[in-house]
A and B are shown apart, each in its own frame.
Chain A
Amino acid sequence: MNTPETEITEHVQETMEEMYVNMGPQHPSTHGVLRLMLKLDGEVVTEVVPYIGYLHRCHEKIGENRTYIQIIPYTDRLDYLASMYNNFGYVLAVERLMGLQVPERAEYMRVILAEMQRIASHLIWMGTFGLDLGNFTIFMYCFREREKILDMFESVSGQRLNYSFYRFGGMPLDFPESFLTDCKAFLEWFKPRLHEYDAMMTDNIIFQKRVQGLGKLDQKTAIDYAISGPMLRASGIKWDLRRNDPYSIYDRFEFDIPVGSTGDVWDRYMVRRLEMAESVKIVEQAIRQLPPGEIMGKVPKKLKPPAGDIYSRVESPRGELGFYIVSDGSEKPYRYKVRSPAFVNLSVLPIIGPGHLVADMVAILGSIDIVLGEVDR
């Protein structure tokens, strides 16, 4: 049994030419409690082994012991930077299982909130990615914008991070009066900010040199590892569930799917950067088309989905967020499984990591955009 611990003791006598370094679980740039075992040859990483589980909290097992509606708050804690989207995915799965209809207005509300959430999530990613590369200022800029989104979410749901705002068959509350004007004002204000980021990051020669050609992920490996989301698109595969497997009302909006070409860190950065602009477009269209009317469909008092199973997936900011639910006809799911994109995307790190310097490892890890709440569940 070659556990990491025995490996460490075996190699503790190693000299600087080849050594093992434990990056994490307490390390500024592992974005949470991830531990990477790095085997270094000088400064070059020759082997990466991610060790996860420090944040494991039996999410799926807890889910089997809760009623369907009680699970919603738990989904918030999956990808805590994109709680709206977790709600969205889970609610959609149960609705599909039960065959519930969602009113038009609620669908639009869902899309608006979800896309705003995508912007907020990408903003955090961009900020922390800048931090990984030593640019502290972009971090503060991104958080300034995200703060405004959180303010709006607070006005809608009363929460800033864990919203639990989606319900089976609709939404619990309508938008407050000021929300739409706030939202429009924000988007108008936000669009020029994107160019500000370009000036700081995209057009910065140091930044370009740092990330171009790093951690290349070719298409075949990406598919073999079931990579999804911006990471997959950065490798040049135009696969976006909003387009390829439309859910909710995403087929009604016009938006581009940015793709990269080589699948390096730069492409991943560019895909996310461009996606923010696309999300802005979607939100604008949705606000324009937002119909009046009901926000809650007809939902039975006692939620008992018919026996059967469903796999439903949405395009979360990190990739394909899937919920697999097996129902035995009772109030609680028989089996509840989350296919978390961050976990799957992280699995490719041992492939794309080696051969780079330690500094690049940080950039590559950052470009995968993991949230440990989702990786460990």
Chain B
Amino acid sequence: MEKALERFYSVFAAWGVPSIVPQLTVMLVVASVIILFISVSVMFMIWWERKISAHIQVRYGPMRVGGWHGWAQSIADGIKLLIKEDIIPAGADKLVFALAPMVVFAAALAAYVIIPFGPNLIVRDLNIGVLFYISISSLTVVGIIMAGWSSNNKYSVLGALRSAAQAVSYEVPLVISVLGVIMTVGSLSMIQIVEAQQRIWFVIPQFVGFLIYLTAAIAECNRLPFDIPEAESELVAGFHVEYSGMRFAIFFLAEYANMFTVSAIATTLFLGGWHGPLLPPWLWFLIKTYFLIFVMMWLRWTLARLRVDQLMNLGWKVLLPLAFLNMGITGLVLVLLG
């Protein structure tokens, strides 16, 4: 990979083109590939979620578009959203209103930089890998607050405030639950974390951490049972009440992209990343990730929504102490074992 890139650059250098041109080209190509992957993956996930929810609820879900079990439904929906009229409410703050979905999507997109799909299939193996994801994901909240505030709607402001409170509270246990793994590996790099799991997946020694991570991750994604920011029956749709058409589609895209990201990170940290017998690594990675996504969908269609105060209690009084305990015990064991 690296060598091929270098050869690619040297060809351009031989032609006398400034080095910025090939470098930018490579960046653009990589970014396009990621966006393409996100789009396809999200379309698949939406279709999948509709099928899963339908079968949980003794119905079929989409069956018509595309013939076989309505596989093209998401594409049709996407096209519909694309060609819808772009509505900006009269009382909205237009600039912020337009900017918000982009911020949310940018955060979702940036997180893909560190997802290791395979031994060489990673955009950039940053040495702060996990931390990068954690910090970039906090940008989502800013986007949500921007959306909620700029819509100039009380429901959306309430939704945005709830979302901010929720994200801030669940980020803390999320970070600390991950620490157990990082301490064991002694590195933040995603590649090194995966390579450390050749013999045993971290889900076994770090089971508590895994559970805490999963819970906090679902909360970070604003999905049921933690979908309080959007809570349809209370806040109508939370921060994106006023959004429609393309801008709504971007929020939707970002939400599902985030879902994929948290699952992929969980796979990397706890489920051994791309390790697995027989099948190619990238396939293993996708299988594990989509399994976690399935679990998230499963929970969503089974459980009721928590209340705001219960959510806070769970985050601060249950998950956080547990995460600290997990971290402490991990540290102790590491010291004792040398």
A and B touch in the complex (CB under 8 A): yes
Binding site for B on A (CB under 8 A): 16, 19, 21, 27-29, 43, 130-137, 140-141, 144, 200-201, 204, 206-207, 209-210, 357-362
Shortest distance between the CB of A131 and any CB in chain B (Å):
6
Question: Contact between B305 and A133 (Cβ–Cβ < 8 Å)?
Answer: yes
Q: Are B308 and A357 neighbours in the complex by a CB distance under 8 Å?
A: yes
Shortest C-beta distance, B242 to chain A (Å), equals 14
A135 and B307 alpha carbons, distance in the complex (Å): 13
**Extra contacts besides A207-B304, A358-B234 (9): CB < 8 Å:** A133-B304, A135-B303, A137-B57, A137-B302, A141-B57, A201-B304, A206-B303, A209-B306, A357-B307
Determine the chain A residues whose CB is within 8 A of the CB of B86 once the complex forms. none
Contact indicator per residue, chain B 303-329, by CB within 8 Å of chain A (1) or not (0): 111111110000000000000000000
Do B306 and A206 touch (CB < 8 A)?
Answer: yes
Interface range for B: 20 to 34
Q: Which residues of B contact A357 (CB under 8 A)?
A: 307-309
Please tell me if the beta carbons of A131 and B233 are within 8 angstroms of each other in the complex.
yes
B:217-231 near A, CB below 8 Å: 224-225, 227-228, 231
Q: What is the minimal beta-carbon distance from B231 to any residue of chain A, in angstroms?
A: 7
Task: Give the complex CA separation of A14 and B162 in angstroms.
Answer: 19
Which residue on A lies nearest to B154, using beta carbons? A21
CB pair B225 A206 closer than 8 Å:
yes
B187 in the interface (beta carbon within 8 A): no
Query: Could you tell me if B236 and A43 are in contact, using CB atoms closer than 8 angstroms?
Result: no
Is A21 touching B155 in the complex (CB atoms < 8 A)?
Answer: yes
Residue B244, interface by CB 8 Å: no
* Residues in B neighbouring A28, C-beta threshold 8 A: 232-233, 236
Q: Contact: B53 with A136, CB < 8 Å?
A: yes
CA distance A242 to B207 in the complex (A): 55
27 contacts between A and B (CB under 8 A): A16-B161, A19-B154, A27-B236, A29-B233, A29-B234, A43-B162, A43-B308, A134-B227, A134-B232, A134-B233, A136-B57, A140-B58, A140-B59, A141-B58, A206-B225, A206-B306, A207-B304, A209-B310, A210-B304, A210-B305, A357-B309, A358-B158, A359-B228, A359-B234, A359-B307, A360-B307, A362-B234
B259 within 8 A of A: no
If over half of A's interface residues share one DSSP class (helix, strand or loop), that class is named, otherwise mixed; here it is helix
Quick one: closest B residue to A207, CB to CB? Answer: B304
- A204 B304 Cβ-Cβ under 8 A: yes
- B235 / chain A contacts, CB cutoff of 8 Å: 358
Chain B residues within an 8 Å CB radius of A359: 228, 231, 234, 305, 307-308
- Chain B residues whose C-beta falls within 8 Å of the C-beta of A130 in the assembled complex: 304
* Residue B301 interfacial (CB < 8 Å): yes
**Given A16-B157, A28-B236, A29-B234, residue A210 in contact with residue B307 (CB < 8 A):** yes
Kindly identify, within residues 261 to 301 of chain B, every residue whose CB is under 8 Å from any CB belonging to chain A. Answer: 301
Q: Is the CB of A134 within 8 A of B225?
A: yes
B residues less than 8 Å from A19 (CB atoms): 154
Interfacial chain A residues near B310, Cβ < 8 Å: 209-210
A21-B154, A140-B59, A141-B58 known; A204+B303 contact, CB < 8 A: yes
